[in-house]
Amino acid sequence: MTSRAIDENGEFHHLFTIKTVFINRYFIVQTVLAKKVRPVAKMATFFTPERHGYAVRFSPFYKDRIAVATSQQFGLAGGGTLFVLERTPVGTLENVAVFDWSDGLFDVAWSEGNSDIAVSGSGDGYLQVWNLHHPGMPIKTFHEHTKEVYSVNWNFHNHQRILSASWDCTVKTWDLGYSMSTRTYEGHTQLVYDAVWSPGLPSTFASVAGDGMLQIWAEETSNAPRLSVKAHDAEVLSCDWCKYDQNILATGASDGLIRGWDIRRLTAPVFELRGCEYAVRRIKFSPYHASIIASASYDFTTRVWDYKTSPEAVETVKHHSEFVYGLDFNNHVPGELADCGWDSLVHIFSPASLSSVPISEPR
């Protein structure tokens, strides 16, 4: 595999020849205001030895099951491991399955149609489809991307469809019944960090990239995005759709900002959330609270926001000692989150701020 290095924004950039990597994470100043950091009442924790967390996803079928994509050597070199963990009745996390791959794993997504199936994306350009009842090798692989696959996402409406985003500046769609991609989307000019299907608009997805752009695509039209906007004057690392309004989505970027967008009028953001001291690596809309967003950041924090009430976080959780990379809401338990980071820790927890927020119908 090729080596990777980190730039001044904390985000990886691909290098073909490099022998020594200086990682600036050790020099980050850990300055989080104590009054905004609340203790977490309940938390289940798992340690992934010699593996550093990149992504975590709750199962859409089981409230106590998560998948965690990890990499050796912070994703700079070595292999990757996919952990499938189950929360026990006493609150501990235990292995259900462990899958190894020869390159780092950067993302994971559960099948929306089969509780035993998950897909991951890796640094060698592959997608791996895993079955919990088939230990060892994946049951299927896809390989067309020429650089790292940094994002994978399973379609909510068509359970055969998978979306992938890569550092080769493309997004691809895949069908489990075929060996090749169904389409390739080439709208970005720099590394594509994330691509996410819309939960409310079938065959629509959003993508974000190092060029600062947010692009909205119709699956059947690969020659150009339907909509495009310069979302940040920085690399955009994450995006997610609101579960309660099909026209709203948000972006998180290396400038530390989270911005909300209405696809009916992309002239300006409809909200902006400030407070992360370094790059926002992952954002997620709540499936139980219409205006709640969670974020994971390189400032070692996971934050909870209510974009309709304040541009500042309503809660800051600091239980990692490295970059926080993975983040997900539990669709089965209101107010419950999972996160993971480069400190090899995976946490399932319930932020205190969400215990008093009225619950909407789950989406």
pLDDT at 357: 75
Give me the chain's average pLDDT, please.
90
Its sign, for the CA torsion 174, 329, 95, 112, is negative
Rounded Cα distance, 280 and 323, in Å: 10
Whole-number pLDDT of residue 30: 33
Instruction: Examine the pLDDT at 36 and tell me if it is beyond 80.
Output: no
Structure confidence by residue, pLDDT tens digits, 190-240: 999 999 999 999 899 999 999 999 999 999 988 899 999 999 999 999 999
Statement: residue 5 has pLDDT above 80: no
pLDDT value at 14 more than 70:
no
Overall average pLDDT of the 8-21 stretch: 36
Please report where in the chains the tokens 């290095």 appear, as a residue.
Answer: 5
Q: Which residues contact 250 (CB under 8 A, 6 or more apart)?
A: 239, 240, 242, 258, 259, 260, 261, 283, 285, 293, 307
3-state secondary structure the chain: CCCEEECCCCCEEECCCCCCCCCHHHHCCCCCCHHHECCCCCEEEEECCCCEEEEEEECCCCCCEEEEEEEHHHHCCCCEEEEEEEECCCCCEEEEEEEEECCCEEEEEECCCCCCEEEEEECCCEEEEEECCCCCCCCEEEECCCCCEEEEEECCCCCCEEEEEECCCCEEEEECCCCCCCEEECCCCCCEEEEEECCCCCCEEEEEECCCEEEEEECCCCCCCCEEEECCCCCEEEEEECCCCCCEEEEEECCCCEEEEECCCCCCCCEEECCCCCCEEEEEECCCCCCEEEEEECCCCEEEEECCCCCCCCEEECCCCCCEEEEEECCCCCCCEEEEECCCEEEEECCHHHHHCCCCCCC
Q: Which of 108, 151, 147 is nearest to 130 (CA)?
A: 108
Reply yes or no on whether the pLDDT at 72 is more than 80.
yes
Read off the pLDDT of each residue in 333-343 and give the average, rounded to a whole number: 97
Q: Is 255 within 8 Å of 237 (Cβ atoms)?
A: no
Average pLDDT over residues 66-77: 96
pLDDT digits (tens, 9 = 90+) for 114-158: 999 999 999 999 999 999 999 889 999 999 999 999 999 999 999
Is the model's pLDDT at 22 over the cut of 70? no
Q: What is the pLDDT of residue 42?
A: 75
Mean local confidence (pLDDT), 167-172: 98
Q: Using the CB atoms, write b or e for 35-44: b if 16+ within 10 Å.
A: ebeeebeeeb
Question: What is the pLDDT at residue 99?
Answer: 98
With cut-offs at 50, 70 and 90, classify the pLDDT of residue 28: very low
Output b/e per residue, 117-130; b: 16+ Cβ within 10 A: bbbbbbbbbbbbbb
Range 3-27 average pLDDT: 38
Cα 72 to Cα 103: distance, rounded to the nearest angstrom: 8
Say what the pLDDT of residue 135 is. Answer: 87
Closest CA to 259 of 298, 208, 318, 331: 208
- CA-nearest of 185, 181, 105 to 148 is 105
pLDDT value of position 15: 32
Token look-up 């990499």 returns 71
**pLDDT in the model for residue 363:** 60
pLDDT higher than 50, residue 34: no
Per-residue pLDDT, averaged over 10-15, amounts to 43
* Domains located in the chain, CATH noted: 46-354 (2.130.10.10)
pLDDT at 312 over 60: yes
Residue 17 CA, distance from chain mean position: 28
How far is residue 336's CA from residue 287's CA, in Å, rounded to a whole number?
A: 10
Asked if the model's pLDDT at residue 33 lies above 80, the reply is no
